[in-house]
Structure 1
Amino acid sequence: MNICVFLSAADLDERYTAPARDFAGLLGKAGHTLVWGGSHAGLMGVVADAAKEAGGRLLGVSVEFLAHKAYEGADEMVMTRDLAERKALLLAHADAIVVMVGGAGTLDEATEILELKKHGKHTKPVVLLNTAGFYDGLKTQLHRMDEEGFLPIPLTDLVFFAEDAVSALAYLEAYAA
């Protein structure tokens, strides 16, 4: 399975890097392919290193203005002209999506993926990995949107909230089966 991970390229502490490393290690050990933003920087690099060390395949999708941060050990690296094309290719190459901790760019990617799924433009499983309660506020907001009728499909059909790497990967593998 090609698992796309949206996450930060920032250097973060162990509270965030350890769970990301755990997920990527499980992904690699299970023989899955990591599809990610293609960077060696920060958390993106941590995930790429862990997936590769565990035997996973790496498919990076970077953008021309970030070419200097491209991960050199990727099995395949695709360069795009802009961020919109990058998001589209990340989704096109993915069988499943995991959203990890990140900033405005990660939030943009997550909301676009959810919006596309809401409109039936893809049916891929989406997991929000809520490391250290990072997405508690977003989880609350999405539940409110669901309860108040803002979502045309049930929230449980839109996204799965995982608190750890094991439950995130287990959900994706069960969904694929």
Structure 2
Amino acid sequence: MNICVFCSAADLDDRYTRPAREFAGLIGKGGHTLVWGGSDSGLMKVMADGVQEAGGRLVGVSVEFLAHKARPGADEMVITRDLAERKAQLLARADGFVIMVGGSGTLDEATEILELRKHGLHTKPVVLLNTAGFYDGLKQQFQRMEAEGFLPLPLTELVFFAEEGVGAIAYLEEQSGLVPPVVQG
């Protein structure tokens, strides 16, 4: 599975990097490919290092003005003209998405992928990985949007909220048919 991860290129403390390394290991050990912004800095580097060390593949999609930060040694690196083309390439190359901690760039990517899903322009699973409660406020806002009628479909059909990487990977694999769903009875 090609798992697109939206996350920060900033250097962050251990409460974010440790869970990211663990999640990256799950991607790599699962035989999956990381599709990401291609940067060799910050949390993006932590993810790429972890996936590569665990035997996974790396497909980076960078943009011309950030090409100097692109990771050497990725299995594939695409350089796009602008951010719109970058997002289109990330969407085209991914089987599912995980939104990790990040800033305005991460939110831009996340809201676009969610908007496209909301309108049925893709049906790929989307996970919001709420490391250390980073997205508690955003989750609350989404719940309010749903309660007040701003979402045309149930929130559970738009995005899955995971507190840890193991939950994120399990959801993606289940949604992609890689593992059978758990039957409750």
Distance 2:148 2:57 in 1: 42
Name structure 2 gaps, 5 residues minimum.
Answer: 178-185
Code of the aligned partner of 1:166: V
**Which residue does the alignment assign to 1:100?**
100
SS class of match (1:98) = strand
Aligned residues: 177
RMSD: 0.5
**Which residue does the alignment assign to 1:15?**
15
1:74-93: per-residue Cα shift (whole Å, max 9, x none)? Answer: 00000000011101100110
Q: Offset of 1:5 from its aligned partner?
A: 0.1
**Which residue does the alignment assign to 1:170?**
170
**Which residue does the alignment assign to 2:67?**
67
1:53-98: per-residue Cα shift (whole Å, max 9, x none)? Answer: 0000000000011111000020000000001110110011000000
| TM-score for the superposition, normalised by structure 1 | 0.99
Work out whether 1:137 is the aligned partner of 2:131.
no
SS class of match (2:23) = helix
Matches within 5 A, 1:26-175: 26-175=26-175
1:17-47: per-residue Cα shift (whole Å, max 9, x none)? Answer: 0111111110000000000000001000000
Runs of 4+ in 1 over 4 A off after TM superposition: none
Distance 1:149 1:65 in 2: 39
Distance 2:112 2:137 in 1: 18
| Percent pairwise identity | 77
